[in-house]
Structure 1
Amino acid sequence: MIRVLLTDDHTILRDGIRALLSMHSDLEVVGEASNGQELLDLLAVTPTDVVLMDINMPVMDGFATMEHLREQYPEVRVLVLSMLNHENYVHRMIEAGATGYVLKNADIAEITYGIRTVASGRPFLCTEIGMDMLFKIVRSTTSPTDTARPRSGDLSKRELEVLRLISEGMTNAEIADKLFTSKRTIETHRQNIIEKTQAKNTAALIKYAVSNGLLGE
């Protein structure tokens, strides 16, 4: 039996994952935490094999939490469950001590496979992240003229949609309302776009999008 502790500040997400994991006889959710500090408090009294943890959390985020986990609970495996798909986040969390990284849009089969994989001590990256990294390696081996122009494929369909709405002057709250999602989700998309385009501000981001023809796609 693999003992799993869920750590995410969205109750509905934890409820959903708990329900899905309960369908697997070899997985047991032994606790839930809404931030890193709650996780550390629970680990002190709750035997755990795998922590399924988000990065963006109040009080103590995933990066800060990893430092404490590495020092206090080195035997506990961490599988990051996040919507942050940029390689910088993946690299930072793995470097900090996480054993695996899976995106929130992954299906339950991939998430459970990731849990079992990291529980056995083996590293795990979800398919989407692995393929993104592979494609970047392939592109890096092509000629400079092929890679000089950033490609819209580097941005997801949702990120392109958010980028277009940013270019129209809409605020994060307005974009969230239009796309029927939370303001925090839009902030995350915006940060991903900035990371991928390396734009330092909104003006630079729009200039980048226009000059690379991303708004017309």
Structure 2
Amino acid sequence: MIRIILIDDHAIIRDGIRSLLREEPGLEVVGEASSGQELLNTLATTPCDVVVLDLNMPGTDGFTTIPLLRERHPEVRILVLSMLDNERYVVQAIGLGASGYALKSTSRAELVYAINTVAAGQPYLCTVIGLALLQKLHSLKSPGSATAKAASGLSKRELEVLTLIAEGLTNAEIADKLFTSKRTIETHRQNIIEKTQAKNTAALIKFAVSQGMLAD
């Protein structure tokens, strides 16, 4: 059973999330808080596995709360659930120690998946944010530029494939666009993963940010 504490300064939001999760097997909401400080007080008597944390709160906001949680309760996973969709907030929250980031507009199915993912120790970004950030890869210089080569060591064709992946194209669609086989695109995709050491969308975005591959 994954134990969850909800942190949001709006009671109606907490009630809504609790209602969404009530019938979900394997998940249990064990507490609520309206601020970061209240969360820390709650954790003193109510252990949990995942906190679902809003960022924009009065008093001790989410950005302040995340490092405090990492210091005092390193075993607790942090899933940000926010209306803030700007990549700067996403990168800041992940950089501070959040395990995942989802928008309040996300579906129940995706929220449940996000909670299970971070509870398992894996990073998570919701689909909307993941695609939006990956499309920032269009800011890469030409494939032969020093920045692109230094950033990842990807070949010209691999950078082309990566850009099309960022646009949300499937392997088959990329193969059609580049006039090659689906198997070839699968090979390029595997090479990209190996060269960047990014095993999933969240890890790829963190790599791209660290290498200056995303525009401000």
Q: Secondary structure of 1:39's match?
A: helix
Gaps of 5+ in 2: 144-215
Q: Secondary structure of 1:93's match?
A: helix
Aligned to 1:48: 48
Q: Secondary structure of 1:52's match?
A: strand
Mapping of residues 1-217 of structure 1, within 5 Å: 1-141=1-141
Q: Number of residues paired by the alignment? A: 146
How far residue 66 of structure 1 moved from its aligned partner, in angstroms, is 1.0
Deviations 1:162-200 (A, max 9, x none): xxxxxxxxxxxxxxxxxxxxxxxxxxxxxxxxxxxx9xx
How far residue 67 of structure 1 moved from its aligned partner, in angstroms, is 1.8
How far residue 32 of structure 1 moved from its aligned partner, in angstroms, is 0.4
Q: Secondary structure of 1:29's match?
A: strand
How far residue 28 of structure 1 moved from its aligned partner, in angstroms, is 0.1
CA distance in 1, matches of 2:30, 2:138: 42
Aligned to 2:190: none
Q: Secondary structure of 2:137's match?
A: helix
CA distance in 1, matches of 2:138, 2:106: 24
Deviations 1:122-165 (A, max 9, x none): 0000000000011111343469xxxxxxxxxxxxxxxxxxxxxx
CA distance in 2, matches of 1:57, 1:142: 42
Q: Secondary structure of 1:110's match?
A: helix
How far residue 23 of structure 1 moved from its aligned partner, in angstroms, is 1.3
Q: Secondary structure of 2:70's match?
A: helix
**Paired letter, 2:8:** D
CA distance in 1, matches of 2:105, 2:86: 14
Q: Percent identity?
A: 57
**Paired letter, 2:80:** V
Give the aligned CA root-mean-square deviation in angstroms: 1.8
CA distance in 2, matches of 1:30, 1:58: 23
How far residue 55 of structure 1 moved from its aligned partner, in angstroms, is 0.2
TM-score, reference length from structure 2: 0.65
CA distance in 1, matches of 2:4, 2:63: 19
Against the structure 1 CA distance between its residues 23 and 141, is the aligned structure 2 distance closer, same or farther, given a 3 Å change threshold? farther
TM-score, reference length from structure 1: 0.64
Against the structure 1 CA distance between its residues 142 and 106, is the aligned structure 2 distance closer, same or farther, given a 3 Å change threshold? farther
